[in-house]
């Protein structure tokens, strides 16, 4: 296991899941993927996180993203827990939960941080693009549930900035103004790409309306 960095290829694996055995790259296909670990089944924060992911399934689908969860608990426990998540969170878990009892995935993705939490995965998130490249990672401790709106916000930024010569400023949300990347200096190209114009707060800080709106 070596540290995974942004731009690295997401390691492939085969593992059991609540949707049957999964060969990761083939399962991902041409979609974006959010691979996220949680410490254990039948724990309160994890229950709310998986419920929230299920509730946002339309938002993930709209962006061409498949969520997939992982913990080191076994498959039979996952199956019982899913019923509880659906009941308590008033939702339907419709994405796979990997049963990583042998720690194949946890080890490949360095999800066990023993000085923070012994013998279980912390709250890791890997946002992976359709070329299987790791584009974003976050790591949260067991005591802090993640903000799934933030995960969607980052995906919006990645998808926008992949297709336009822009970057997204602090606290940006889809629809807000964006910044023109500093390397773009040709006035003709700027005019063609950003017909709504731009405001140069400084020569290096140029704001423009979101170009795909």
Cβ of residue 97: shortest distance to ligand BEZ, in angstroms?
14
First to last CA, the chain: 42
Distance CA 129, CA 100 (A): 22
User: Hey, which residues between 112 and 151 contact ligand BEZ (CB under 6 A)?
Assistant: 142-143
Q: Cβ closer to ligand BEZ: 43 or 136? A: 43
Distance CA 201, CA 192 (A): 20
Distance CA 153, CA 67 (A): 15
Q: Cβ closer to ligand BEZ: 10 or 85? A: 85
Cβ of residue 137: shortest distance to ligand BEZ, in angstroms?
20
Q: Which residues sit opposite 114 in a β-bridge?
A: none
Cβ of residue 48: shortest distance to ligand BEZ, in angstroms?
8
> How is residue 16 written in tokens?
């059991």
Catalytic residue among 10, 33, 34, 46: 46
Q: Cβ closer to ligand BEZ: 8 or 42? A: 42
For position 101 contacting ligand BEZ by CB under 6 A, the verdict is no
Phi/psi at 16 (nearest 5 deg)?
-70, 155
129 close to 135: Cβ distance less than 8 angstroms? yes
User: Hey, which residues between 42 and 71 contact ligand BEZ (CB under 6 A)?
Assistant: 43-46
Q: CB-based contacts of 75: which residues, under 8 Å, 6+ apart?
A: 16, 17, 18, 99, 101
Cβ of residue 3: shortest distance to ligand BEZ, in angstroms?
23
User: Hey, which residues between 17 and 46 contact ligand BEZ (CB under 6 A)?
Assistant: 39-40, 43-46
46 in active site: yes
Name the residues that contact ligand BEZ, by CB under 6 A: 39-40, 43-46, 142-143
Residues annotated as part of the active site: 46
């Amino acid at each position: 296991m070596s540290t995974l960095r942004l731009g690295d290829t997401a390691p492939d694996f085969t593992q059991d899941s609540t949707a049957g055995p999964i060969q990761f790259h083939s399962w991902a296909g041409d979609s974006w993927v959010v691979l996220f670990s949680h410490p254990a089944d039948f724990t309160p924060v994890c229950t709310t996180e998986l419920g929230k992911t299920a509730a946002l399934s339309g938002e993930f689908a709209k962006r061409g993203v498949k969520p997939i969860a992982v913990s080191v608990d076994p498959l039979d426990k996952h199956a019982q827990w899913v019923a509880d998540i659906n009941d308590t969170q008033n939702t339907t878990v419709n994405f796979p939960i990997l049963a990583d009892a042998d720690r194949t995935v946890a080890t490949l993705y360095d999800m066990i941080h023993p000085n923070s939490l012994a013998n279980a995965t912390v709250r890791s998130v890997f946002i992976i693009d359709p070329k299987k490249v790791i584009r974003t990672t976050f790591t949260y401790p067991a005591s802090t549930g993640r903000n799934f709106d933030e995960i969607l916000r980052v995906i919006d930024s990645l998808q926008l900035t992949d297709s336009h010569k822009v970057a997204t400023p602090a606290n940006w949300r889809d629809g807000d103004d964006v910044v023109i990347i500093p390397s773009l200096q040709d006035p003709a190209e700027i005019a063609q790409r950003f017909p709504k114009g731009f405001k140069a707060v400084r020569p290096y800080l140029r704001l423009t309306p979101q170009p795909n709106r």
